[in-house]
């Protein structure tokens, strides 16, 4: 089959690799119907050292079950499934608590002998725990929106849930990438009446307004902080959803959060040390939370509104490529010509 392999920064290739086969009785083989390129795929696209063996890519996909191991009991050939970006057993204490990203037997795609989603097919470990069936055919128009349940929508939702968003909280979302826009949609879903979106790409912030943002702040740095404070009577917002991951976004979070408030991060931090002392988090009793989203915990909750067409998170996809053109998809996202690229194997 064909699969996407990254060999180093900027070096994305689609190659013929062996077809995936069942290895464990709990495995399933899934034919990928749609995959996509994640903002976090751009980190290795910028930084990956040249790697002769390459690394499979992609951790978001929906597809059709082709084959199941003998211990798989909830899935059968032909089922349409959504895959969260981490695989998990669904039975350990962490999974039962809804923290499938810390599953005692789970892991992540595209590593340790597991392929990536930007491919024609993939072996899914712990298939019963990992995959969620969706009652649609693979020709459904809902495909892009269902695919967002694999990562971006669940990630934005995790930010909002961990941030404690509700109808009494004001919210700032930092970042107008796909996750930031999903954080807006999620904050709206959880009842927030005031959602300030910080981003400077008009087509994206326009989509953010459609998803529920009430204000857009295009300014960055101190000017952006000042603007949010102006909009909130000088106080900042109860919750800040940080969907970028770079230090300036964290600094911006500190600048716009209200005393007693919460900064919820889902942008993968590209730093390790940061200010958290008396002058930043401690003095004003700010809570810092977030992390890799256990999207598996949210798929069943979010899917009905997608199936009903009540929400259309799939609008974040503004560009579609065939698998052979996936390198062009990376390039388009990197150059910000595309918000998020759908891959059709």
Footprint on this chain of a second copy (rule: CB under 8 A): 94, 97, 99, 101-102, 162, 259-260, 265, 268-269, 271-292, 294
**Residue 274 Cβ, how far from a second copy at the closest point, in Å?**
5
| DSSP structure string for 51-90 | -TT-EE----EEEEEEEE-TT--S--TT-EEEE-SEE--S
Tokens of 126: 């712990």
**Residue 268 Cβ, how far from a second copy at the closest point, in Å?**
6
Q: Indicate the residue among 251 and 312 with the shorter CB distance to a second copy.
A: 251
**Residue 211 Cβ, how far from a second copy at the closest point, in Å?**
25
Q: Are 29 and 67 in contact (CB under 8 A)?
A: yes
Contacts of 59 (CB under 8 A, 6+ apart): 38, 85, 108, 109, 110, 116, 117, 150, 151
Q: Indicate the residue among 137 and 275 with the shorter CB distance to a second copy.
A: 275
Helices 178-189, 202-211: inter-axial angle, 10-degree rounding? 20
Q: What three-state secondary structure class fits 16?
A: strand
- The Cα 144–Cα 60 span in angstroms is 11
Q: Indicate the residue among 43 and 201 with the shorter CB distance to a second copy.
A: 43
Q: Are 258 and 172 in contact (CB under 8 A)?
A: no
Tokens of 215: 């204000």
- Alpha-carbon torsion (128, 134, 138, 141), positive or negative: negative
- The Cα 228–Cα 315 span in angstroms is 26
Contacts of 260 (CB under 8 A, 6+ apart): 238, 284, 285, 286
Q: Are 247 and 223 in contact (CB under 8 A)?
A: no
- The Cα 143–Cα 239 span in angstroms is 31
Q: Indicate the residue among 85 and 317 with the shorter CB distance to a second copy.
A: 85
Q: Indicate the residue among 150 and 280 with the shorter CB distance to a second copy.
A: 280
**Residue 47 Cβ, how far from a second copy at the closest point, in Å?**
14
Q: Indicate the residue among 194 and 331 with the shorter CB distance to a second copy.
A: 194
**Residue 104 Cβ, how far from a second copy at the closest point, in Å?**
10
**Residue 85 Cβ, how far from a second copy at the closest point, in Å?**
14
Q: Indicate the residue among 162 and 227 with the shorter CB distance to a second copy.
A: 162
Of the candidates 268, 2, 266, the one whose C-alpha atom is nearest the C-alpha of residue 117 is 2
**Residue 12 Cβ, how far from a second copy at the closest point, in Å?**
23
Q: Indicate the residue among 249 and 306 with the shorter CB distance to a second copy.
A: 249
């Amino acid at each position: 089959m064909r699969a996407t392999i990254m060999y180093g920064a900027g070096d994305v290739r689609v190659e013929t690799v062996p077809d995936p086969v069942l290895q464990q009785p709990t495995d399933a083989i899934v034919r990928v119907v749609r995959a996509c390129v994640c903002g976090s795929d751009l980190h290795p696209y910028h930084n990956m050292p040249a790697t002769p063996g390459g690394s499979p890519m992609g951790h978001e996909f929906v597809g059709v079950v082709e084959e199941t191991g003998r211990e798989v009991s909830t899935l059968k050939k032909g089922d349409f499934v959504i895959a969260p970006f981490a695989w998990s057993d669904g039975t350990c204490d962490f999974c039962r608590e809804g923290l499938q990203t810390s599953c005692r037997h789970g892991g992540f795609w595209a590593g340790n002998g597991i392929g990536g989603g930007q491919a024609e097919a993939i072996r899914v470990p712990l298939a019963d725990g990992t995959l969620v069936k969706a009652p649609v055919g693979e020709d459904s128009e809902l495909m892009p929106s269902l695919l967002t349940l694999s990562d971006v929508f669940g990630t934005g939702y995790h930010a909002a849930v961990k941030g404690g968003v509700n109808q009494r909280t004001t919210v700032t979302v930092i970042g107008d990438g796909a996750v930031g826009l999903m954080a807006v949609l999620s904050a709206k879903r959880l009842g927030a009446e005031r959602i300030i979106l910080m981003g400077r790409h008009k087509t994206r912030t326009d989509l953010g307004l459609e998803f529920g943002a009430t204000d857009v702040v295009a300014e960055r740095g101190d000017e952006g902080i000042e603007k949010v404070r102006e909009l909130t009577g000088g106080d900042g917002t109860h919750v800040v959803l940080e969907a970028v991951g770079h230090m300036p976004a964290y600094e911006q979070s500190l600048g716009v959060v209200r005393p007693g408030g919460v900064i919820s991060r889902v942008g993968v931090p590209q730093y390790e040390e940061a200010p958290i002392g008396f002058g930043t988090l401690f003095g004003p009793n700010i809570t810092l939370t977030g992390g890799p989203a256990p999207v598996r915990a949210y798929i069943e909750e979010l899917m009905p509104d997608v199936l009903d067409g009540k929400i259309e998170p799939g609008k974040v996809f503004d560009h579609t490529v065939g698998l052979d053109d996936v390198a062009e998809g990376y390039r388009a996202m990197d150059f910000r010509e595309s918000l998020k690229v759908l891959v059709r194997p």
